[in-house]
Structure 1
Amino acid sequence: MTLNPLSNPKGVKLLCELCQKPAFVQCTLCRVTYYCGIDHQQADWVGIHEKICQLLIPLRTVQMSFLSSEEHRKKQEQDLLHRRKHMIELTRTTGQKLLFEGKHEQAVPAAMQSLRFSIDVHGLDSIELVPSYLILAEASIGLHKLSQAEEYLAQAQWTVLKTPDCSSAIKSKLERNLGLLYASQGNFDESLRHIADDIYHASEEFGTDDIHTSGGYFHMANVFFRQNRMDIADSLYTRVTDIWHEHLLRIVTSQTKRPDTSAVGGAVVELEEKETESLDEAQEAEAKQVLHSIHDIREQAANQNAAESAAKISHALAMLYFLLHDLPKAKELASKAQASCKPSSSSSNQDHLAEDIADFMQTLQELPLRSKSSILDMAT
């Protein structure tokens, strides 16, 4: 990409997208984004700008005409609001995805964009800004900038405290980030207290066995793991595995089952089905991070419990890669799960798992190596 030095018109101040210092170069693709130098341009491009470059043009070049009708102006305003809300969701999901992938530095531009659009839509004091503060805080923790993380968390905490009707979902995310901060400082007791609050609030909002709650169990397990309290950590890792396995199994089943039909007057009528569940980009990245982490820990363990849970972890990963349209990886992990899972006369759970794995293997065997579009056609 070519960057052209700017010669700003008199009285026009152009600021860097990342640091808000005077800008001297311009993105030549959208021509509405400016930077203090090539380093910040490249950082923004990798973090979020590649995704939103063209989407920024109508947002930053829109002109409300006072000569048009009131109805037309309202339509313009509604369209602008819709675009901004879409950008909040896109940038926030991208930031979360990058965090789960361990790309903390790249997550910062996405979080900053989500914060800007949230301010535009909701104002400076809204609770809707908190998720963006939390992404910035977690990115700062990952970059070992703990004092900066504390500032973001303090802002988020203050906003939550002055919002009596704040949702349990936001309280959960705040407590989780506080737990991560204290864990990074080595204060494990305080970390566990905040993560316990995270699990409580997430359970209130989503239930105890939901993937939104499982993140709290996972981080609590990591704290116990660092304390070498392996029995507790192992039970929590098992809980996380069970939640993700059940969730992925439900999605795969809904996407691979044939539509229900009913004969009416000699004609076959396809019954209406409910919309199937799916994973967004951030949830896909979270599943990969969490399940691979537990999978690696299980492989290093040599006890019987670890051997029994290895099959479920491998099956969960196989289903995840199936949903990610990586059939060779899905088949490899499914074969590994099948080899690890032996039906047991004393364990009905093991028998059910063996049946689920066998059904999944059957689904994979019926599919040739297909392209992404072919698999999507099958799912719909």
Structure 2
Amino acid sequence: MNVIYPLAVPKGRRLCCEVCEAPAERVCAACTVTYYCGVVHQKADWDSIHEKICQLLIPLRTSMPFYNSEEERQHGLQQLQQRQKYLIEFCYTVAQKYLFEGKHEDAVPAALHSLRFRVNLYGLSSVELVPAYLLLAEASLGLGRINQAEEYLFQAQWTVLKSTDCSHATHSLLHRNLGLLYIAKKNYKEARYHLANDIYFASCAFGTKDIRTSGGYFHLANIFYDLKKLDLADTLYTKVSEIWDAYLNNHYQVLSQTHTQQMDLLGKLFENDTGLDEAQEAEAIRILTSILKIRESTADKAPQKTIFVLKILVMLYYLMMNSSKAQEYGMRALNLAKEQQLDVHEQSTIQELLSLVSTEDHPIT
């Protein structure tokens, strides 16, 4: 972490903390454009996002240079906007990844950065602010701060209501977070209503069998599971598993057929890839391991369902180039298949997966 120096603030100028907007007393020594109320919030910001974007903030928070022509000035403004758009998405993805990993405290500074860049680029009333409000609401829920989460969700709802051009994807995210709020309040009736709307809008935006729609099914399944409506929960968990299986199997089949045959111009094998960003990979891990835990609790009743999820996790980690985790889940699937004396075809399918993984020399992440 960089050293932070006490500020000598010019008279009449008010500098605010990056995390809480209280009067600032310190500045980051590396970029000299980011301020904090003290060491605690500086460290929180550094650990969350600042270390990753420290130097990128300098051109955004310093005066623009003098340009010789209007054309040069417009080009400079366009570059500035592109930097802001990049940081909006980067900070958003980082915050999302923290949330899927259960690191709610770490998600807050990254989400705040995404929100501020959105305000700077789009203005205070733009619907572009909604995704950042929803991140902050979800982080607040994870930290048990329900009232704060409600405030962020109110801002998001109000912004959506005022907007005449709000996408189905944004409506989906809003309803999903409202569903999570009502789950936290144990109001399952309202939660089901909002998650049903989440699924509807996500289906309109992406289709009913898209991984981005699966989150709504997953949270709805969790509600039914908590209410002991196990048949409904089982149906939805199966649907979520099938969506991820279809998505990953598509990538897996292409790579398993070409990975050992095709070479790029440098003579290196093409890298495996999930087609997901880091946040989506973290979401996949969270959803699938949660379903696996539930499946394993009833493995004696339906071992095939447990093995199905294990095989999906093998594909996921294989595509993430984590052969160690892929082998771990593959061996668990094979051992369960043998214990339950499942048919030879099922066991040979798992053996094929393990053989493919064992031939790879992936770096373990």
TM-score (norm 1): 0.86
SS at match of 1:304: coil
Instruction: Provide the rounded CA distance (Å) in 1 between the counterparts of 2:258 and 2:347.
Output: 22
Instruction: Provide the rounded CA distance (Å) in 2 between the counterparts of 1:205 and 1:94.
Output: 23
Instruction: Provide the rounded CA distance (Å) in 2 between the counterparts of 1:114 and 1:210.
Output: 26
SS at match of 2:60: helix
Q: How does 1:168-247 map to 2 (within 5 A)?
A: 168-247=168-247
Structural RMSD (CA)? 2.6
Alignment-mate amino acid for residue 3 of structure 1: I
Deviations 1:312-341 (A, max 9, x none): 111111122223322122112122223445
Instruction: Provide the rounded CA distance (Å) in 1 between the counterparts of 2:299 and 2:330.
Output: 21
In the alignment of these two chains, the number of paired residues is 354
Deviations 1:142-197 (A, max 9, x none): 11111111111111111112223311111111111111111111111111111111
Q: Where does residue 27 of structure 2 map in the other structure?
A: 26
2:304 matches 1:308: yes
SS at match of 1:68: coil
SS at match of 1:26: strand
Instruction: Provide the rounded CA distance (Å) in 1 between the counterparts of 2:80 and 2:153.
Output: 30
2:75 matches 1:82: no
SS at match of 2:27: strand
Deviations 1:240-276 (A, max 9, x none): 1111122122222333432899xxxxxxxxxxx9x97
Alignment-mate amino acid for residue 24 of structure 2: A
C-alpha distance 356-251 of structure 1, shift in aligned 2 (>3 A) = farther
Instruction: Provide the rounded CA distance (Å) in 1 between the counterparts of 2:213 and 2:362.
Output: 34
Alignment-mate amino acid for residue 258 of structure 1: T
User: Does 252-261 or 177-186 show the bigger shift?
Assistant: 252-261
Q: Where does residue 55 of structure 2 map in the other structure?
A: 54
Q: Where does residue 265 of structure 2 map in the other structure?
A: none
Instruction: Provide the rounded CA distance (Å) in 2 between the counterparts of 1:71 and 1:235.
Output: 59
C-alpha distance 289-86 of structure 1, shift in aligned 2 (>3 A) = same
Q: Where does residue 10 of structure 1 map in the other structure?
A: 11
Q: Where does residue 162 of structure 2 map in the other structure?
A: 162
SS at match of 2:23: coil
SS at match of 1:55: helix
SS at match of 1:228: coil
Q: Where does residue 279 of structure 2 map in the other structure?
A: 282
Stretches of structure 1 lacking an aligned partner (at least 5 in a row): 262-272, 374-380
Instruction: Provide the rounded CA distance (Å) in 2 between the counterparts of 1:31 and 1:128.
Output: 28
Instruction: Provide the rounded CA distance (Å) in 1 between the counterparts of 2:284 and 2:259.
Output: 28
Paired residues of 2:15 and 2:35 also in contact (CA < 8 A): yes
Paired residues of 1:308 and 1:340 also in contact (CA < 8 A): no
TM-score (norm 2): 0.90
Alignment-mate amino acid for residue 221 of structure 1: A
Deviations 1:112-170 (A, max 9, x none): 11011011111111111100000011111111111111111111111112223311111
Offset of residue 23 of structure 1: 0.8
Q: Where does residue 363 of structure 2 map in the other structure?
A: 371
Offset of residue 303 of structure 1: 4.7
SS at match of 2:20: coil
C-alpha distance 356-249 of structure 1, shift in aligned 2 (>3 A) = farther
Instruction: Provide the rounded CA distance (Å) in 2 between the counterparts of 1:329 and 1:9.
Output: 55
Paired residues of 1:15 and 1:36 also in contact (CA < 8 A): yes
Paired residues of 2:323 and 2:358 also in contact (CA < 8 A): no
C-alpha distance 254-12 of structure 1, shift in aligned 2 (>3 A) = farther
Instruction: Provide the rounded CA distance (Å) in 2 between the counterparts of 1:290 and 1:260.
Output: 30
Deviations 1:200-228 (A, max 9, x none): 11111111111101000110011111111
Instruction: Provide the rounded CA distance (Å) in 1 between the counterparts of 2:209 and 2:348.
Output: 22
Instruction: Provide the rounded CA distance (Å) in 2 between the counterparts of 1:355 and 1:172.
Output: 41
2:114 matches 1:114: yes
User: Does 155-164 or 98-107 show the bigger shift?
Assistant: 155-164
C-alpha distance 316-225 of structure 1, shift in aligned 2 (>3 A) = same
User: Does 163-172 or 124-133 show the bigger shift?
Assistant: 163-172
Instruction: Provide the rounded CA distance (Å) in 1 between the counterparts of 2:65 and 2:259.
Output: 48
C-alpha distance 111-370 of structure 1, shift in aligned 2 (>3 A) = closer
Alignment-mate amino acid for residue 321 of structure 2: H
C-alpha distance 68-355 of structure 1, shift in aligned 2 (>3 A) = farther
Alignment-mate amino acid for residue 237 of structure 1: Y
Deviations 1:262-294 (A, max 9, x none): xxxxxxxxxxx9x97611011011011111111
Offset of residue 106 of structure 1: 1.2
Instruction: Provide the rounded CA distance (Å) in 2 between the counterparts of 1:38 and 1:286.
Output: 32
Paired residues of 1:252 and 1:319 also in contact (CA < 8 A): yes
SS at match of 1:330: helix
C-alpha distance 62-360 of structure 1, shift in aligned 2 (>3 A) = farther
Q: Where does residue 150 of structure 1 map in the other structure?
A: 150
Q: Where does residue 266 of structure 2 map in the other structure?
A: none
SS at match of 2:153: helix
Instruction: Provide the rounded CA distance (Å) in 2 between the counterparts of 1:358 and 1:74.
Output: 60
Q: Where does residue 257 of structure 1 map in the other structure?
A: 257
Instruction: Provide the rounded CA distance (Å) in 1 between the counterparts of 2:147 and 2:74.
Output: 44
- The 4+ residue runs of structure 1 with deviation greater than 4 A are 353-356
Offset of residue 33 of structure 1: 0.6
